[in-house]
Amino acid sequence: MVGHPHCIFRYKEAGGRSSLYLEIQGRIELVPRYISGYYKCAHNPMADAIKALLDFMKLRPAALLGRARQIYTAMKGNPAFIRPTISMEALGAQIETYADCIVEASDGSRKAIAARDRQGDVLKGMLRQLAAYVEFVSETDVATFTSSGYRPAANVRTKSPPLSESIRKIEFGWISGEVRVKAVAIAGADSYELRWAPRPREGIPDEWKTQPFGQTREYLTITGLTPGTFYLFQVRALIGKQFTDWSDSVTKMSK
């Protein structure tokens, strides 16, 4: 903690990272990272401090809207959170804007869907910033935290081992004939390529389908697979101007 006649700087783990907050007359503000880098602080948060589950970042529109309304209802007028970093008026207005966009996008218009997704990203950003505030105020108080409408994340995250050296996960998609592939990041790689083909009875496939992608943080969605068919998946990386060899195959059945 760094003191000042009119304010206090505090470091605290929130949103999965160490962030700097500025407290002025009881109001807590998140300090931008490019500014927080100039400050050093000896404050070490308690290891059992409660963290918010940020699963709403991956929810579909209707589910995201429902979660946002749940949090809004719990936070509005909550005496434990009297000075939120996102005002309830602003959050409520964004929720209604997003709800309208969901209705407009129901006709399948690309323009309306794009507008819905943009407003969804805005809403997610507000919920994430508000989650950091809730973590800061609640610290280790479970009752206070749960009164916010947020869900606590598990204290220990068990990371499952990757399927191969180049493919971390392959999951079924939302619809039949769809899978989601997540690759392992390779040091120095500029981009990647994924290829897949039905698994032959013997040997290697004669024809592959290939899709390039630029980063490994998100899943790559593959569609048009035949349900009940086993597929082989391989990945290679582009480092400089040269591709690596294709990785060993990972087999997954489509459904």
193: CATH = 2.60.40.10
Distances in Å between the alpha carbon of 234 and those of 179, 183, 192, 250? 14, 10, 11, 7
Last residue of a domain, one of 112, 146, 180: 146
3-state secondary structure 72-109: HHHHCCCCCCCCCCCCHHHHHHHHHHHHHHHHHHHHCC
Instruction: Name residues whose C-beta falls within 8 Å of residue 58's C-beta, 6 or more positions apart in sequence.
Output: none
Residue 117 domain-assigned (yes or no): yes
- Tens digits of residue pLDDT in 134-143: 999 988 888 8
Show the CA angle centred on residue 18, arms to residues 17 and 23, nearest 5°: 125
- Range(s) of the domain holding residue 191: 167-253
pLDDT digits (tens, 9 = 90+) for 196-235: 999 998 888 989 999 999 888 889 999 999 999 999 999 9
137-185 pLDDT, tens digit per residue, is 988 888 899 999 999 987 645 567 889 889 999 999 888 999 999 999 9
Please report whether residue 30 resides in a domain. Answer: no
19 in any annotated domain: no
Domains in the chain, number? 2
State whether 135 and 187 are in the same domain.
Answer: no
Q: Under 8 Å CB-to-CB from 148, ≥6 apart: which residues?
A: 71, 74, 75, 78, 80, 81, 134, 138
Q: Is the pTM of this model over 0.75?
A: no
**pLDDT at res. 21:** 53
In a shared domain, residues 187 and 132: no
The answer on 112 and 54 residing in a single domain is yes
Answer with the residue of higher pLDDT: 64 or 30: 64
CA triple 137-138-139, angle to 5 deg: 100
Judge whether 14 lies within some domain.
no
Are both 135 and 188 inside the same structural domain?
A: no
Strands of the 167-172 sheet, one edge to the other: 167-172, 179-183, 220-222
- Say yes or no: 59 and 117 in one domain: yes
CB 236 within 8 A of CB 245: yes
Q: Are residues 172 and 140 in the same domain?
A: no
Element of type H or E holding 114: helix 110-138
Percentage with pLDDT > 90 across the chain: 62
254: nearest Cα among 161, 167, 170, 162: 170
Query: How many degrees, rounded to 5, is the angle at CA 54 between CA 163 and CA 25?
Result: 145
205 within domain boundaries: yes
